[in-house]
Amino acid sequence: MVRSEWLNLNGIWEFGIGAENEKTDPFMPLDKKITVPFCPESTLSGVGETGFMKSVFYRRAFRLPKSFCGRRMLLHFGAADYTAYVYVNGAFAGSHRGGYTPFCFDITGLVSKDGENTLFVRVDDDTLSPLQPSGKQSSRPESYGCFYTRVTGIWQTVWLEPVGEKHIADYRAYPDIHMPGVKLVFRLCGADDGDVISVKADYEGTPAGEGAAAVRNGEAEITIALLQKHLWEPGAGRLYGFTAVFAGDEVRGYFGLREIGLNGKGMTVNGKNLFGRYVLDQGYYPDGIYTAPCDEALKADVENSLALGFNGARLHQKVFEPRFLYWADRLGYMVWGEYPNWGFDITEDSSAGAFIPEWLESVRRDVSHPCVVGWCPFNETWDRADGKRRSGNVLKAVYYATKELDGERPVIDASGNYHEICDIFDVHDYEQDPEKFASYYARAGEGIVLDQIERESPGRQKFPGGPLFVSEYGGIKWSKSENGWGYGEPVKDENGFLARYKGLTNALLDNPAVCAFCYTQLYDVEQEQNGLMTYDRKFKFDPEAIKEINARKAKTEE
């Protein structure tokens, strides 16, 4: 959702690293500089501090443009890991808990209209806390295995936005491919019942329909019958735009016309069976860690994946930035939304109370993106090292909360293990021998799978039959470094890699019970060197050779 006026606050800020339990003082001396929105662990931040930081402090001055004066002032943060406390001119503006989702404060009464203002932010981050999801951030001082450099503090854009007393807060889009049409649900601030919001939709600049509705209880629903039918589908990100006007507030937005479904063969898009050719994407960058160095880098990750013959990705152990999802929408690239649950202890039922609010914030943020085709709040919910088992009630609670918020998309409770309730049954398997790999799933049509969990912990989870999603496989180690980490014995040369890749992938494409796969992974991340590209996004192999293997027709497509 875009307005014509806003003020980007990225750039050079004062910065400091606090001692444990240090008191907050918005006017305290700060001895460093940092480039926001890059985390202090990154080289692009200009700090490059990779140790544990319990508290970090930011400060910068700003002046309001003259056109902003006399209007309400919203201060936005894309994300800050983990708990943020915000002060404007020394006064407390608000706080937010959760390292991956946006937050906003109305700071109208705190800012000077014609003088200099001071913004101060404290962010506390305890990666080792069992009630703080941290994803792939290392719990050791160093990176190791499949755990990488930590991320602390602000890691997405900070900006100011002027609005009127009455303004549009956000919207959700519910497309109907049969009508064809779309229902837009707007949440409005300062609105009175009976106020009217109007919308005009367009497709590539051509009028596509319009509508208006009265506000009721702070919301308005507008259903627009579309004059043209252009379906969003994999490989073709056809998007409609719209302009919404409410009490002088004008915003631009967009939506895609597409429908997700399930049948006996797997997932359908717009009523047609679709084999999911996904790749694991970690969302890490060598110079920015969580934050891409530029918008072109976000777009390039999608384009590189498409060039390798994938039609989507599992966005793994991170809530990706909205601009990545924009490019996935625009380029017709399917993604599964996930949360960085690793590091979060779910052995107690009460853990659901700490997890659900943060997870649902991410679902609300992304629910209108046509590229998002499914949700997966947890990944590999292992038992604790002391033997205490994870709580199945937590998984069920999060599953039902997700379905309540979004009843359209399929939900996988915990990718790989251990399942309680899910719409598509998925497994992880890093067997490197193609013949053995194929044999483990040869009887999947009979309801028998010998996935990695079944082989290691027989009877721990039961395959209920139906379509099977092998949502992690491969991870073939390909590294010229002795310290490179990957799965199985490394291959000796490029021909050996392609032979193994083809054998493993064919085992899934040739299985009539398999509806989707997800290869680990798109690019190397630090010491985990099993990607199809290097960490700096150079292809390791001829992308056409990989694409030829991936693009083969699957049994479920015949």
380-424 tens-digit pLDDT: 999 998 999 999 999 999 999 999 999 999 999 999 999 999 999
Distances (CA, A) of 557 to 95, 513, 544: 50, 11, 22
Q: Which of 120, 135, 163 is the last residue of a domain?
A: 163
Tell me which residue range forms the domain holding 228: 167-258
pLDDT for the residue 26: 96
Band of pLDDT at residue 481, cut at 50, 70 and 90? confident
Look at residue 2 and tell me if it is in a domain.
no
pLDDT for the residue 484: 85
Asked if residue 276 lies in contact with residue 426, where contact means CB atoms within 8 angstroms, the answer is no
* Residue 137 and residue 18 share a domain: yes
**What does the pLDDT look like over 311-331, one tens digit per residue?**
999 999 999 999 999 999 999
Band of pLDDT at residue 22, cut at 50, 70 and 90? confident
pLDDT at 482 over 80: no
Widest Cα–Cα separation across the chain = 73
* Residue 533 and residue 415 share a domain: yes
Look at residue 111 and tell me if it is in a domain.
yes
Residue 398's SS3 state is: helix
Nearest to 133 by CA among 306, 284, 365, 318: 318
Q: Is 303 exposed, middle or buried (0-12, 13-18, 19+ CB in 10 A)?
A: middle
Phi, psi dihedral angles at 392 (to 5 degrees): -65, -25
How remote is the C-alpha of 463 from its chain's centroid?
A: 27
Sign of the Cα torsion 557, 415, 473, 286 reads positive
The DSSP bridge pattern shows strands 72-77 and 103-106 to be antiparallel
* Residue 511 and residue 431 share a domain: yes
Look at residue 42 and tell me if it is in a domain.
yes
Q: Is 258 exposed, middle or buried (0-12, 13-18, 19+ CB in 10 A)?
A: buried
Query: Quick one: angle between helices 543-550 and 494-509, nearest 10?
Result: 20
Distance CA 15, CA 291 (A): 18
Look at residue 1 and tell me if it is in a domain.
no
Q: Which residues contact 296 (CB under 8 A, 6 or more apart)?
A: none
* Residue 320 and residue 292 share a domain: yes
* Residue 430 and residue 455 share a domain: yes
Distances (CA, A) of 43 to 144, 156, 535: 19, 15, 15
Q: Which residues of 479-504 are buried (b: 16+ CB within 10 A; e: fewer)?
A: beeeebbbbeebbeeeeebbebbbbb
Query: 534-542 contacts: CB < 8 A, separation 24 or more?
Result: 535/284, 535/286, 536/286, 537/297, 537/300, 537/301, 537/304, 539/304, 540/478, 541/494, 541/497, 541/498
Q: How many CB atoms lie within 10 A of CB 168?
A: 24
Q: Which of 226, 258, 290 is the last residue of a domain?
A: 258
Q: Which residues contact 25 (CB under 8 A, 6 or more apart)?
A: none
Q: DSSP per residue over 41-82, as a string?
A: TSTTTT----S--SEEEEEEEE---GGGTTSEEEEEES-EES
Residue 386's SS3 state is: coil
* Residue 278 and residue 228 share a domain: no
Distance CA 476, CA 487 (A): 6
**What does the pLDDT look like over 423-466, one tens digit per residue?**
999 999 999 999 999 999 999 999 999 999 999 999 999 999 99
Distance CA 361, CA 96 (A): 11
The DSSP bridge pattern shows strands 153-154 and 80-81 to be antiparallel
* Residue 66 and residue 53 share a domain: yes
Domain count, the chain: 3
* Residue 283 and residue 253 share a domain: no
Give me the chain's average pLDDT, please. 96
- Residue 152 corresponds to which tokens in the numbers above? 């602390």
pLDDT for the residue 492: 86
Look at residue 43 and tell me if it is in a domain.
yes
Percentage of the chain lying above the pLDDT 70 cut: 100
**What does the pLDDT look like over 93-105, one tens digit per residue?**
999 999 999 999 9
pLDDT for the residue 274: 95
pLDDT for the residue 427: 97
Distance CA 444, CA 429 (A): 14
* Residue 451 and residue 319 share a domain: yes
CATH number of the domain within which 238 lies: 2.60.40.10
Q: Which of 163, 195, 213 is the last residue of a domain?
A: 163
pLDDT at 480 over 80: no
More confident residue, 21 or 115: 115
Look at residue 550 and tell me if it is in a domain.
yes
Nearest to 475 by CA among 526, 533, 519, 417: 519
**Helices marked H in 264-342 — which ranges?**
295-307, 322-331
pTM (2 decimals)? 0.97
Which residue type, as a one-letter code, is found at position 117? N
* Residue 190 and residue 122 share a domain: no
Asked if residue 224 lies in contact with residue 201, where contact means CB atoms within 8 angstroms, the answer is yes
Look at residue 343 and tell me if it is in a domain.
yes
Q: Is 131 exposed, middle or buried (0-12, 13-18, 19+ CB in 10 A)?
A: middle
**What does the pLDDT look like over 514-553, one tens digit per residue?**
999 999 999 999 999 999 999 999 999 999 999 999 999 9
**What does the pLDDT look like over 182-217, one tens digit per residue?**
999 999 999 999 999 999 999 999 999 999 999 999
- Residue 511 corresponds to which tokens in the numbers above? 């299985």
Distance CA 96, CA 98 (A): 7
CATH number of the domain within which 503 lies: 3.20.20.80
Distance CA 167, CA 189 (A): 5
Distance CA 442, CA 507 (A): 9
- Residue 147 corresponds to which tokens in the numbers above? 């755990």
CATH number of the domain within which 144 lies: 2.60.120.260
* Residue 335 and residue 269 share a domain: yes
* Residue 549 and residue 471 share a domain: yes
